[in-house]
Chains A and B, each alone.
Chain A
Amino acid sequence: MERLLFREKRTFKHGIHPRDYKHFTRDLPIERMPFVREYVLPLSQHAGAPSRPVVKRGERVFRGQLIAEPAAFVSAALHAPVTGVVAAVEPREHPAGKMVDAIVIQRDPHSPQTLFNEHPIDWSALTPSELLEIIRLGGFVGLGGAAFPTHVKYAIPEGKYARFFFVNAAECEPFLTTDYRIMLERYPHIFSGIRVILKILGSEKAYIGVEDNKQEAIALLRETMPSDLPCEVVPLKTKYPQGAEKMLIEAVLHREVPSGRLPIDVEVVVNNVGTVAAIGELFAYNQPLIERVVTITGPGIHRPANLLVPIGTRLSDVIAHCGGMKDNVRQVLFGGPMMGMPQRSLDVPIMKGTSGVLFLTDGEVVPRREYPCIHCMKCVDACPMYLNPSLLGMLARVRRYEDMLEHYIMDCIECGSCSYVCPSNIPLVQRFRVAKALLREKMARERAVQG
């Protein structure tokens, strides 16, 4: 009844409205990247402990074969993206800017590159715990960017219940069209993925949250939705950061995740739509997570594309495939412009969590002078967590990190909305990240001292 009376779009409070820049790749079908000579697979491309290699240098591996196993509960398996030979297990350049141990695989140029042991898995005959194990061994992590191991999300703690399963297809980051293209082209896998996940979690209902700048995807999902699937497509207002877990849950259920807690505390588990589609493919072909869709975009690349890229493909190979970079490129980012990671080397590999590669040029990367805070409250009005970034920014500037705790700095989700709107160009979220890292370190030290 309430929904009939107030037919306003579902969304969260605050947030920002950046231009979406999705025109670069919106209408380009997903295109398979041809195989290249060499693949680099960092052992740490997910949240949690690095994977433990199970192959040695010189060993022959097949496309889809396990090459590293999860080393802890919060960790992920790793598979060979191509058939070839392990050329090395050594530190390589990692997109996070450091050297990290990686398995380097040289492709066998004569192999047909068929999938290792391809066959559909009849999931309906399996128990939830068996399904969970298949996902764990498939190396699944969140494909939205954070790369949190999927099986850990599905391991519901005692006494908790995942009443609702959320498919996050908001894709609120400007430029990125990965999720959009997946919805248009791989929707059957999304539906089969939802079925498997609902069985694992025992959830009542699934929601697919899509921002309303993707009308075609909303219409297609609604049309093709199997009638027996307890799933609802929820159009969301196009607003950043609509794709943040907490904002998605607020928009759909009008529930707030308590401070310092997880979505499961409000009976929700959230997965990115790409992850769900990949799980659908896992059961359709027995294909572990060895490739993903990446939006190659921005004004600095000659041929933008939605590329299906084997995990471990080096950035330089992707650039070559996309016609090369333009001369005025100044910044290359993994991810979107709001929360992406800048790259300094073109040797880094595409990882499981790489949703896009964005090439920015002199036109977008302009130095901006910092002015004093004029208390205009644009940041206060933008913060989806209702913090006071103006005040926090002043405390951070004079390094009063302890005082920032009293103003709930740890609830900051680092979405960057405050920095985006600040007319004084104050690097707010940038300073908050430093403050949070130092505070976390200090808290860990204190815990260690207390034993």
Chain B
Amino acid sequence: MKAREPRLLLTTSPFIKSPQDTRFIMWQVNYALVPVILAGIYYFGLNAVLIILVSLAGALLPEWLWSRRQSHPVNTVRDGSAVITGLLFALTLPPGIPLWMAFLGGTVSVVLGKIIFGGLGYNIFNPALVGRAFLQAAFPVSMTTWIPYATPENVFHIRGDLLTFPFMKPRMDALSAATPLARMKFESQLTRLTDLLLGSTAGSLGETAAFIIILAGVYLGLRGVINWRIPVGIVATVFLLAALLHWVDGTRYPAPWFHVFAGGLMLGAVFMATDPVTSPITQKGVWIFSIGVGLLVVIIRIWGGLPEGVMYSILLMNAVTPLINKMVRPRIYGMREKSGR
């Protein structure tokens, strides 16, 4: 008796695979961003919706065009990484920014942040932060003009300078507000902890509600999508350094919880510093990276000219990451000495 011979596939081991593929990981990050986006919409109304949609379009358009080129027939839009870039970029913007700038910044994120390096996996800097750094340098006034968060009556009111034409001078909304960090730096005024946690402060679209970002981070950490050491390392470093300064001079330096929950620290620590492409590849390297980010954040915030330093801290540590990868090599099993060369 001869068994039926099926067409057997010849591949090599292993034959089972972890169900988490790149697409899954990227979309998990996008799903985790949903509550953060909803918080932004809650506080900044229609403005937030428009800015997010326009930024997303600005990020996805070049990604789609690039993925259509001959030698690269795969549709990389669907892997979700450009969606992350567009969303994260939008969440770092002031809620009153002209929409054309948001579109331009989204495009710069993907083109200068990712595509010129060769696409997903080859970039050195976090793409969303590249876009934001570009806008910060090009349009410093629009990038530092903040509007107060919305009240239920004017959710549908488009405020700020959203509809300014490209390269026209923004008319400057009369209603402007200061972020908690700016109030601290320039007016030495502390913001209430509950406001920082819930997000009822001025600030970038997605950075104000620290509590929601923490929940999203816990979810991603538990699912193994992000490396929990990065946000923990950053936040712990900021907390410890801020606590030390506060202990030295409590009148000049705010309490550590303020530095931890104010500004873009949570958003940056959970969603941007954890970008696997631009963070180190060993656990020891990851600790160095996250402690570095935390130190730079406190240094820039306290001694720098700007009230906020999360973006530059992460970008600087991104630049150091290849060096960390080269210096911090794990010891190979069965070898006494370090394999560093």
Contact = CB atoms under 8 A, between A and B. Distances in A.
Contacts of B186: none
B17 interface: yes
Interface in A346-405: 346, 358, 360, 364-365, 368-369, 371-378, 380-381, 384-388, 390-391
Interface string B104-137: 0000000000000001111000000000000000
A386 B25 contact: no
Interface string B257-292: 000000000000000000011011111001000000
B15 A423 contact: no
A339 B5 contact: no
A159 to B, nearest CB: 20
A119 interface: no
Contact of B14 (A250, A319, A338): A338
B10 A346 contact: no
Nearest to B4: A325
B168 interface: no
Contact of A316 (B2, B10, B277, B286): B2
Contact of A341 (B8, B9, B13, B25): B13
Contacts of B6: 325, 327, 329-330
Interface stretch (B46-54, B140-148, B295-303, B329-337): B329-337
Contacts of A174: 16
Interface string A315-356: 010011000110101111101011111111110000000000
B18 A421 contact: yes
A368 B17 contact: yes
Given A364-B16, A368-B21, A375-B277, A344 B8 contact: yes
B248 interface: no
A332 to B, nearest CB: 6
Interface in B295-341: 329-336, 339, 341
Contacts of B208: none
Interface in B8-40: 8-18, 20-25
A375 B121 contact: yes
Contact of B13 (A246, A257, A340, A391): A340
A196 B75 CA distance: 63
B215 interface: no
B1 interface: yes
Nearest to A341: B13
A422 B121 CA distance: 13
A342 B7 CA distance: 12
B120 to A, nearest CB: 5
Interface in B171-209: none
A56 B5 CA distance: 32
A279 interface: no
A340 B341 CA distance: 36
A318 B155 CA distance: 71
A376 B15 contact: no
B330 A388 contact: yes
B284 to A, nearest CB: 11
Contact of A324 (B3, B22, B122, B279): B3
Given A259-B332, A330-B9, A388-B281, A316 B121 contact: no
Given A316-B2, A344-B8, A425 B120 contact: no
B333 A386 contact: yes
Contacts of A250: 333
A256 B13 contact: no
- Range, interface on chain B: 35 or more
B65 interface: no
Contact of B18 (A16, A365, A375): A16
Nearest to A326: B6
Contacts of B329: 388
Interface residues of A, number: 73
A337 B330 contact: no
A341 B333 CA distance: 26
B281 to A, nearest CB: 5
A419 B329 CA distance: 20
Nearest to B25: A423
Interface string A65-108: 00000000000000000000000000000000100000000000
Given A330-B6, A337-B15, A408-B339, A386 B21 contact: no
Nearest to B227: A377
Contacts of B335: 258-259, 408
B138 interface: no
A424 interface: yes
A246 B335 CA distance: 13
Contact of B277 (A97, A258, A374): A374
Contact of B10 (A342, A422, A427): A342
Given A259-B332, A368-B17, A423-B22, A330 B281 contact: no
Nearest to B24: A423
B328 to A, nearest CB: 11
Given A374-B277, A376-B25, A419 B17 contact: yes
A384 B10 contact: no
Contacts of B14: 337-339, 416, 419-420, 429
Given A381-B283, A424-B22, 15 more contacts: A258-B336, A259-B334, A320-B3, A325-B4, A327-B6, A330-B8, A342-B15, A345-B5, A368-B21, A371-B23, A374-B276, A378-B18, A421-B18, A422-B17, A425-B22
Interface of B: 1-18, 20-25, 74, 79, 119-122, 227, 276-277, 279-283, 286, 329-336, 339, 341
Interface of A: 16, 18-19, 97, 174, 246, 250, 256-261, 316, 319-320, 324-325, 327, 329-333, 335, 337-346, 358, 360, 364-365, 368-369, 371-378, 380-381, 384-388, 390-391, 406, 408, 411, 416, 419-425, 427, 429-430, 433
28 contacts: A16-B18, A19-B16, A246-B334, A256-B334, A258-B334, A259-B332, A259-B333, A316-B1, A320-B1, A333-B13, A338-B13, A338-B15, A339-B14, A342-B10, A342-B15, A358-B15, A368-B17, A371-B120, A374-B277, A377-B280, A377-B286, A388-B329, A390-B281, A411-B332, A411-B333, A419-B17, A423-B21, A424-B21
Q: Which 5 A-B pairs have the closest CB atoms?
A: A372-B121, A416-B14, A376-B276, A259-B334, A385-B333
